[in-house]
Amino acid sequence: MDKVDCIRVFVRVSQLGSFTQVANEMDTSQSSISKKMAWLEKQIGFTLLHRTSRQIMLTTQGQEYLSYSQRLLDEMDAMESRLKLELNEVSGTLKLTCPSAFATQRLAKPVSKFMALHPSLSVEVSVEDKVINLHQADVDIAIRASHLDDSSFKARKIMLHQICYFASSQYVATMGKPISPVELSDHRCLVYSLMTPSNVWLIDGEPVRVNSVFSSDSPDMLVQMARLGTGIAAMPRWMVDNELKEETLVELFPDMEKTMLPMYAVYKSTEYLPYRIRAFIDYLVEYYAQEPL
């Protein structure tokens, strides 16, 4: 039998003072109510009720257990109501993790707007370029450029990055500007170490092996090294759009087919997903659909 169900029966019997009335109220038989009471008393190891032909009276232990049971059921009902509410409204704490550059340049604004729409929500953002385990890290959503082939997670594409290949004007003046991607094997390239393989870039729809002279797991570090004239880098266009417009960085292969890199919101696969998670992912999809690549 279910102990919580039996406790509910005990509380109601104590309140109504009658097995028959409780049975009628719960649309069951008097013998079923009696069996549940007997099972509960056997489980807890002491008598709850004195039964006579005329009345039902609580034992001393039964009086204490009734007080405890009422508190237990009230707290359980309150907790269930609160958790059910979280499944239907944006409240509680939303825990996110995302790459460093994306956090500051692309995520801060939609998070701020989403919080303004939902004042009951608090947000925690952990900046992490490496892939983490959502269960171990206690994270609701991981924003990442790839998703795991793992049935315990789900992933939804929230945007596409347009990959841009660039170098500083200083580098181009000194080392020359490559006209064809195959020339990258003779240039100094700055590669993102978390990509596999890091020294193969997709340009104009074709894989190109590049000459790697510097690698890092930090996109910001790679962009800064390119600004300093160290070499050629490949990063999302939004990271360097201002420098390209100011011509402090030079775009390479501008007329070739653009490589698009999807960005995903990865979250735990569960039947009862809190509404704040679903709502935030929906918001990101709509927000980035209106933003330039």
Please report whether residue 81 resides in a domain: no
Please report whether residue 140 resides in a domain: yes
Residues 70 and 90 in one domain: no
Please report whether residue 68 resides in a domain: yes
Percent of the chain past pLDDT 70, that is, above it, reads: 96
CATH number at residue 183: 3.40.190.10
**Average pLDDT score over residue span 44-50:** 92
Please report whether residue 99 resides in a domain: yes
CATH number at residue 7: 1.10.10.10
Tell me whether strands 206-209 and 49-51 are parallel, antiparallel or unpaired: unpaired
Q: Which pLDDT band, with edges at 50, 70 and 90, does 150 fall under?
A: low
Please enumerate in sequence order all residues whose Cβ is within 8 A of that of 108, keeping only pairs 6 or more positions apart, or say none: none
Distance between CA atoms of 94 and 71, rounded to whole angstroms?
30
Residues 280 and 137 in one domain: yes
3-class DSSP assignment, residue 244: helix
When divided into structural domains, the chain yields a total of 3
Q: Which pLDDT band, with edges at 50, 70 and 90, does 243 fall under?
A: very high
Taking 3-state DSSP, the helix, strand and coil percentages for the chain, each rounded to the nearest 5, stand at 45, 25, 30
pLDDT for position 136: 63
| Structure confidence by residue, pLDDT tens digits, 153-209 | 889 999 998 999 999 999 999 999 999 999 999 999 999 998 889 999 999 999 999
- Ordered DSSP codes for 149-181: --TTEEEEEEEEEEEEEEEEHHHHHHH---SSG
Residues 119 and 166 in one domain: no
Please report whether residue 243 resides in a domain: yes
Where is average pLDDT lowest: 66-80, 133-147, 219-233? 133-147
**Average pLDDT score over residue span 253-265:** 91
Residue 175: other Cβ atoms inside 10 A: 15
Distance between CA atoms of 231 and 234, rounded to whole angstroms?
10
Please report whether residue 245 resides in a domain: yes
Please report whether residue 59 resides in a domain: yes
* CB contact at 8 A, 22 and 36: no
pLDDT for position 1: 87
pLDDT for position 246: 93
Residue whose structure tokens are 């979250």:
267
Domain of residue 35 covers 3-75
Tell me whether strands 141-144 and 206-209 are parallel, antiparallel or unpaired: unpaired
Please report whether residue 80 resides in a domain: no
